[in-house]
Amino acid sequence: MKKISYLGPRGTFTEEALFSFYKNAKEIKSEPLGTIVDVIKSIDRGDADEGLIPIENSLEGSVNITQDILTFESEAKIIREITIPIRHNLIGKKYVDLKKIKKVISHPHATAQCRSFLNNKLHGVEVIAANSTAEAVKKILDLNDDTAAIGTKIAAELYGLSIIEKDIEDSRDNKTRFIFVGNYIPQKSGQDKTSIVCFLKKDKPGSLYKILKEFADRNINLTKIESRPARKNIGDYVFMIDIEGHLHDKKVFEGIESLRRNVYMIKMLGSYPIWKES
């Protein structure tokens, strides 16, 4: 049985993503861990076959801790991705009228993403911060009926609670991309993505241009490029690049190899199937 670690606690969007991919829960053994670092290190140590962590949200941007640990502190590789819509729900111990709710608990990102609902439907309620939406849902078990939480459908089911109002997020386009990490490079699927990090020899004019030119000359599409601090001097950066195609595609391989004369080091983060929404 495949063992998969994921960012916990239970009832999070990460767990929702896990069972969106593995629809048959009996085929895996899942283990929620406390931090993204814990999940990635479980792969490095061989404690799990796969790990699942968030890497990007359409509203909040990249998850920097995920990028940094994979870049600087781990040899784990991205082996798969999945994107799910983020749907927030107002959850209570039982169904109550919105007028009776005095307090709402959730993670600050969740409350920020439901600002319009809170202002229009629950104006004046006390908003209390929690470490995660799952923690918020669990907390209301021990609180009065006038306290609700913003969380996932899976958390409400886990704790036997009621969804007072569903889909309360401001944006229907809110999505999070999650990555499965492992210790290998998957075979070509025909629709793949390759993620690399470029460490520059020295930051000077034209450095980024030379990187981009190698791919442009080969008609290779870059789906994402982002800079992150290189953990050295202020002003030193690494470039994180997502490339359309698999590492074992001839032009992708040649494009990456051609960079070596212009950069200090290239780190392979993974080459894996592109997620296709059903």
Mean pLDDT of the chain: 91
Q: What is the residue extent of each domain of the chain?
A: 2-85+174-182, 89-165, 192-273
- Of the residues 111, 176, 215, 239, only one is catalytic, namely 176
Read off the pLDDT of residues 175-199 as tens digits, 9 standing for 90 and up. Answer: 999 999 999 999 999 999 999 999 8
Q: Is it the case that residue 266 has pLDDT exceeding 90?
A: yes
Domain 89-165: give its CATH architecture.
3-Layer(aba) Sandwich (3.40)
Cα three-residue angle 202-195-70, rounded to 5 degrees:
80
89-165 and 192-273 in the same fold: no
According to CATH, the superfamily of the domain at 2-85+174-182 is Periplasmic binding protein-like II (3.40.190.10)
Tell which CATH classification among 2.40.30.10, 3.60.15.10, 3.30.70.260, 3.20.20.70 matches the domain 192-273. 3.30.70.260
User: In this predicted model, which residue has the larger pLDDT, 204 or 191?
Assistant: 191
180 catalytic per annotation: no
- Give the model's confidence band at 1: pLDDT under 50 very low, under 70 low, under 90 confident, else very high: confident
Read off the pLDDT of residues 106-164 as tens digits, 9 standing for 90 and up. Answer: 999 899 999 999 999 999 899 999 988 999 999 999 988 899 999 999 999 999 999 99
Does residue 173 contact residue 87 with C-beta atoms inside 8 Å? no
**By C-alpha distance, which of 70, 41, 39, 68 is closest to 53?**
39
178 catalytic per annotation: yes
- Of the residues 13, 178, 180, 215, only one is catalytic, namely 178
Please give the Cα distance from 186 to 158 (Å, whole number).
Answer: 33
Residue 28 is encoded by which pair of tokens?
Answer: 């895996």
